[in-house]
Amino acid sequence: MAVVEEIRPTTDALLKTKAPKRPANMGQFLRWFFLFLGGIAMVMPIAFMISTSLKWPHEVYNLRLIPEEPTIENYTYVLEDGRFYWWFVNSIIIALITTVCNVIFDSLVGYTLCKFKFPGRYIVFIAILSTLMIPTEMLVIPWYLMSQQFGWLDTYWGIMFPGLMTAFGTFLMKQFFETVPDDFIEAARIDGLNELQIWWTVAMPLVKPALAALAIFVFLGNWTAFIWPLIVTNSVEMYTLPVGLSSFGDEADVQWELIMTGAAISTIPTLIVFLIFQRFIIRGVVMAGLKG
């Protein structure tokens, strides 16, 4: 609570601050300068994405930010192309299910590792953490062979199964459950809840900020996932958005304006997810029931 409450006034203060009256010193200038550079670096790709999506094909390699003859033709084309809807729906379904599964399973495991003292819990935790060190690229082949054997190729399940639980999420949730005082859990135990009820009705609401952060990470990660969905899917109807978008055009003739249009549209759900969950991150209420 303390930490979170401190953040709020700071952001409020930042928003209210007018341009400083006194002359800015050198250090401050440099700081602003680098922040500005950072800002440019973040905004430019988005600006180019939108700008390219408004250009005619012949103008794509002209790197002007403002198109000479802006057009919404690309949007009409992409939205009228039935495949785009398929991909969009596929991506939504996969990202949503994966997010829900991660929120539930990661926090279940994290909670267990954090709040139950059983022999070997440390080893389990280390084992989970160590999987963080294995890059996806290395896992893709075993995943593929496994999917092939079980007949999961070209199915939703095939796309989703590697990501239904993540080591990172488990670690994150374990660390957050450390902040939930044992008193809460013991009080609930005396009140007669079983362990699953305690986890769901007492512990989970107290780590909402972490759940929101996890949900954003997982959703974005799956929304933009490329390599695995590309490998595991064969048919165009099973593509996710990133895979589908990259298939606009072939090697000789990549249709950048269409890809950028699709990309621009596909940022909308990520914005929505972020807007929904970020307020939970800012307004955490973990400690309010305790003497703070």
Residues that bind another protein (CB under 8 A): 181, 183-184, 186-193, 202, 205-206, 285-291
Of 113, 87, 90, nearest to 165 (Cα)? 113
Beta bridge partners of 142: none
Nearest to another protein of 12, 191 (CB atom): 191
How far apart are CB 199 and another protein at their closest, in Å? 14
CB of 201 to another protein, least distance (A): 8
- The distance of closest approach from Cβ of residue 206 to another protein in the complex, given in angstroms and rounded to an integer, is 7
Q: How far apart are CA 156 and CA 183, in angstroms?
A: 42
The conformational region for residue 249 under phi > 0 = left, psi -120 to 50 = alpha, else beta, is left
**DSSP for residue 178:** T
Distance from C-alpha of 268 to C-alpha of 37, rounded to nearest angstrom = 25
Query: Which residue, 20 or 292, has its beta carbon nearer to another protein?
Result: 292
Q: Judged by CB, which is closer to another protein: 50, or 187?
A: 187
Quote the DSSP letter at residue 165.
S
CB of residue 181 vs another protein: minimum separation in angstroms? Answer: 6
Q: Which of 261, 284, 271, 263 minimizes the C-alpha distance to 220?
A: 271
Task: State which residue, 181 or 221, has the beta carbon closest to another protein.
Answer: 181
